[in-house]
A and B are shown apart, each in its own frame.
Chain A
C-alpha cells in the first residue's frame, strides 16, 4: 500500500472514532433524558378521608351504593394542585363484609374506564366494554365479561374523630390482569 493510502486509512479510523465520541457524549445524556419518566414513583398511598359518604346515613345506603370522593394534593409534573380529586370510590353496605361495608375504586379492572351503577342500580356496569359486576364486586356473566377480575376493593377504616366518616387507602391497579397489581 502506498504511504498516502496508509495515511488515508489512518485518518478514516480517527474520523470514525471522533464521530463516535461526539455521538456518545451527546447521545448518552439524550437517552437518559428521554428515559427520565420511566420508573418515577407515584406518591405513597396513605389513608385519606372520603367526602360525600357517611357510614351512619342508613337512608342513603338503603337506596344502594354511595359514591365518595377523595381529595388530596396532587403533583402533575411541575404543577401542584393543593386540593384535587385523587379518585372516587363506591361504598356498598354489605353485611357479609368484615366491617359491614365494602369500598371499591370506580376504576374498571378491565381497561380503566370509570364504572357506573348498572340500570336499576343492582349492579356495577362499565360504559366502555360492557364489563358488569355484582354489588359485592364479583364479575358477572363470566362467559362474556371482558374484565379478568372483579372490582378492586380498597382497604378502609373509620375516622377516629368522626366514626361516621371513612378513610381509604386509595390505590391504582394494573388494568387487564387477573390479579390485583398495585401501580401506585
Chain B
C-alpha cells in the first residue's frame, strides 16, 4: 500500500527523479571518510536553521525586551536551554568544521582548476558564517555581546572614507539600541542565512558538476586489502569514540558511535573489494556517522559544558515537579549556553572579549598602535582574504603541483597563525602560564621573594601579570553580576528593561547607596556569610544598624542602651536614663524580681521584633504576652503603639519598611525621635510634586531642618538592603522627558 501511494505521488510530482538526482552521485575511487566534512557543515547549518527558527518564535529584538526574552527561553520554556544551547555551540562548531573542511580541500587540491569558482563560493560562505557569528553574538543583548559589538562596529568605523557611514548604517544611527538590534536581527535571521542558502546551493551544484577531487583511481592489484580497510575503520572508530568520551559524551553514545564503525568495518567482509562507489548509501552512511559524531559533541557541550548560570525558581509554575520537567527546564541547573548580565551602557571597565573564534583578530589588534590600527583591522584581514582568493590561480598548467603545495602551506599556515594568536590572547589574559606551563605570564621575583621592580624587563612582566589579574577579577565580578541578574529575573523583569534589575537590586545597589548616605554615621555589622554585606570600617557617630529591629538587637539595647552599638555615640539620653533607673532599682530587688524583669525584656524583644512583619504574619500568642510585658515595664510612658505622639519613638510596625521610611524621610517626626534627633531628613527634592511635600516639611520644622536629597527609588533600595529584602525595586521613577521648549 505505501508503495502504491508513492507510485501515485511520483506519477504526479516526480519526486523520485529529484531524489535520484540528489543521491545517485557516482564517486570515482569510492566513498571515503575524509569526504565527510562538507556534509557535517551542511548538517550543523541545518541544526542552526531549525534551532534559529525555534528561537525566533520566542525572541524579541528590542533594547528593553531582548535580554528578558532570552532569559525566558533559557530558564522558563521547556527545552529552551537545549534549543538555545545547540544554536550557541552550533555556531562555534561550524567554525571548527570550516577549518577542517578547508584543510581537506587544500590537501586534495580541490581549489585548483577547474574548481576555482567553488573555492571562491566557499570563501563567500566563510564570510557569511563570520557575519552570522558576529550578528548573533549581539542578539541576547547581554554585556558580552554588547561590549564586543561596540568594539567590532568601532573597527568598522575606522575603515577609510566610508567607515563612519558604515557604522551608522549597521547600528541604525549614531548609538547602540533598538535599531541596532532590529538591524542585526534581520541580518542574522533573514539576509545572511538567505545568502548562505543561495551560496550553499551554488556550492553543492558546482561541486556536483566537477565531482569529488579524488586521488588517482587504483588498479585492481593496487587496491589495499580488505583487512587494511577494515583495520582503518576500526582505528577511526576508536578515535571517534575516544574523542567523544573526552568531550564527556555519555559512554552509551560513545559505544553506539564506536559500534557503528565496527559494524561498518565488518560489513566489508561481505562485500567485493571495489573502489568505485556511490553517494547513496556508501558515502551517505559515512556522512551520517560523522554528523552523529558532531551532534554528540554539540549536545555534550550544551549539557555538560557547565556554561550556564544556575538559578533557583521563584514562581511555583517555574519549579520542576517531575523528572521530565527537571530535564525540560535544565537551564535552571546551569545547563546550556551562558547568559551574561543585561547590556548596560553605564558599566565601568567591562572586560570585553569577542567569542573565541574571533580572538585571533582581537589579538592582532594589540600589535598595532595609533594610526596603524588599520593594519590590524583592515589591511591584514583583507590581505589574507585576497591571498585566499588568489590561491586557485596558481593551479594553471605546469604550475599545478606548485599551486597545490602553496595552497596547503598557506591554509595550514594561516590556521596555525590563528591558533597561535588565539593561544597568545588567552595567555595574555592569564596571570599564570597556561597549556602545561608552556606559554603565558609569570611573575618575576627578586632574591628576597618580593616582586622585582629594578629590572625594567621584569617590571614589565610583573605589570602584565597585574593586568591579567585585574582582568580575571573583573571577569569574576562580571560573572557574579550575570548570576545575580539571571536570578533576579526569575521574579520578573521591569518594563523599563532588564538592565534595571542590577541598577535597582537592593543587594548590590542598595549596599552602595547605604555606603554613600548612611555608613557615614551608621555602622552596619553583618554576618560574614550574609550576601548583602555590612560596613564596619570607619568612624561612626550613630547606632549600629546591623540587625536593627531584630530580637537580639532589641534585647541588647534593653541590656545596655549606652553601648556604642545603640545610643552610646548619640545625644539620645532617654533609654540610658531608663537603664540607670533599672540598675538602681535592682540593687534592692530580689533575685526573683530581677529574673522576672529579664523574662519581660526577652518577651518585649521577641514581640517588638515581630512588628516588622506584615500584620497577618505576626504570632498572636507573642502579641498578647509581649504587650503585657510592655505594660508591666511601663514602656508606654514614653513609647506609643498606635501612632499617638509621645516622648519617644512610636512602635507600630517597628522595624518594617514603613517604619524605616518615616525614620529616613522625617527622623525628627514626633512619632520618631522628635526634637532630640540629630539625623538629617533624606527626602526626594526632585520631580513633580516634590516642592509641595518639602514646603510642608519646612512649614512643620522651620527652615533650620537639615534635608539631604535622596530619590524615592534610592530610598527604597536602602530600606530593602537594610531589611535584607532582595526584591528589585520597580517603577516609581520621577516623571521626566525632553526639556520643554
Q: Which residues of A contact B (CB under 8 A)?
A: 2-4, 6-8, 10-12, 14-15, 18-19, 21-22, 25-26, 29-30, 32-36, 40-41, 75, 77-83
Contact = CB atoms under 8 A, between A and B. Distances in A.
A77 B60 CA distance: 11
B294 to A, nearest CB: 10
B272 A15 contact: no
B494 interface: yes
B72 A11 contact: no
Contacts of B494: 79-80
Given A19-B288, A22-B288, A32-B328, A75 B492 contact: yes
Given A4-B274, A78-B68, A36 B289 contact: no
Contacts of B209: none
B688 to A, nearest CB: 19
Contacts of B489: 78
Given A7-B268, A78-B76, 18 more contacts: A2-B272, A3-B270, A3-B271, A11-B267, A12-B281, A14-B285, A18-B291, A21-B292, A22-B295, A32-B328, A33-B77, A33-B79, A34-B57, A40-B317, A75-B315, A78-B68, A78-B493, A82-B730
B491 interface: yes
Given A6-B271, A14-B260, A32 B79 contact: yes
A10 B282 CA distance: 10
Contact of A11 (B51, B65, B281, B495): B281
Contacts of B493: 78-80
Nearest to A18: B288
Most chain A beta carbons < 10 A, residue from B51, B77, B289, B291: B77
A88 B274 CA distance: 79
A36 B292 contact: no
B263 interface: yes
A22 B315 CA distance: 34
B492 A15 contact: no
Interface of B: 47, 50-51, 54, 57, 65, 68-69, 71-72, 76-80, 82-83, 86, 260, 263-264, 267-268, 270-272, 274, 280-282, 284-285, 288-289, 291-292, 295, 299, 315, 317, 328, 489, 491-495, 730-731
A21 to B, nearest CB: 7
A2 B274 CA distance: 13
B295 A80 contact: no
A130 B50 CA distance: 45
B289 A26 contact: no
Where chain A touches its partner, the secondary structure class is helix
Contacts, number: 110
A78 B288 contact: no
B491 A80 contact: yes
A8 B492 contact: no
Contacts of A8: 281-282
Given A30-B83, A36-B77, A80-B493, A22 B271 contact: no
Contacts of A81: 495
Nearest to A84: B495
10 nearest interchain CB pairs? A80-B492, A78-B68, A29-B79, A7-B271, A78-B72, A18-B288, A11-B281, A12-B281, A82-B730, A4-B271
Contact of A18 (B69, B71, B285, B731): B285
A12 to B, nearest CB: 4
Contacts of B82: 29, 33
Nearest to B68: A78
A37 to B, nearest CB: 8
B292 A79 contact: no
B292 A32 contact: no
Nearest to A37: B77
A80 B78 CA distance: 20
12 contacts: A3-B271, A8-B281, A8-B282, A11-B264, A15-B281, A15-B288, A18-B285, A26-B86, A30-B79, A32-B79, A80-B491, A81-B495
Given A29-B82, A34-B57, A4 B69 contact: no
A18 B284 CA distance: 10
Contacts of A40: 317
A164 to B, nearest CB: 22
Contacts of A19: 288
Contacts of B80: 33, 36
A103 B317 CA distance: 31
A13 to B, nearest CB: 9
Contacts of B317: 40-41
A15 B77 contact: no
Contact of A30 (B50, B284, B288): B50
Contacts of B271: 3-4, 6-7
A25 to B, nearest CB: 7
Nearest to B731: A82
A18 B289 contact: yes
Contacts of A41: 317
Contacts of A22: 288, 291-292, 295
B54 A34 contact: yes
**Which interface residue of A34, A78, A83 has the most chain B CB atoms within 10 A?**
A78
A45 B281 CA distance: 60
B65 A79 contact: yes
B270 A6 contact: yes
A6 B270 CA distance: 8
A11 B57 CA distance: 38
Most chain B Cβ neighbours within 10 Å, of A29, A75, A82:
A29
Nearest to A74: B492
B155 to A, nearest CB: 32
A59 B507 CA distance: 50
Nearest to A41: B317
A33 B495 contact: no
| Candidate in B54, B80, B271, B489 with the most chain A CB atoms within 10 angstroms | B271
Contact of A77 (B47, B72, B280, B315): B72
B731 A11 contact: no
A78 B263 contact: no
Interface centre among A12, A19, A80 (most CB of B within 10 A): A80
Nearest to A2: B272
Nearest to B64: A79
A6 B267 CA distance: 9
B23 to A, nearest CB: 10
Contacts of A32: 78-79, 328
Contacts of B54: 30, 33-34
Given A22-B291, A33-B54, A77 B285 contact: no
Nearest to B267: A7
Nearest to A40: B317
Contacts of A33: 54, 77-80, 82-83
A40 B260 CA distance: 42
A7 B47 CA distance: 30
Contacts of A80: 491-494, 730
B310 to A, nearest CB: 18
A78 B501 CA distance: 12
A29 B82 CA distance: 8
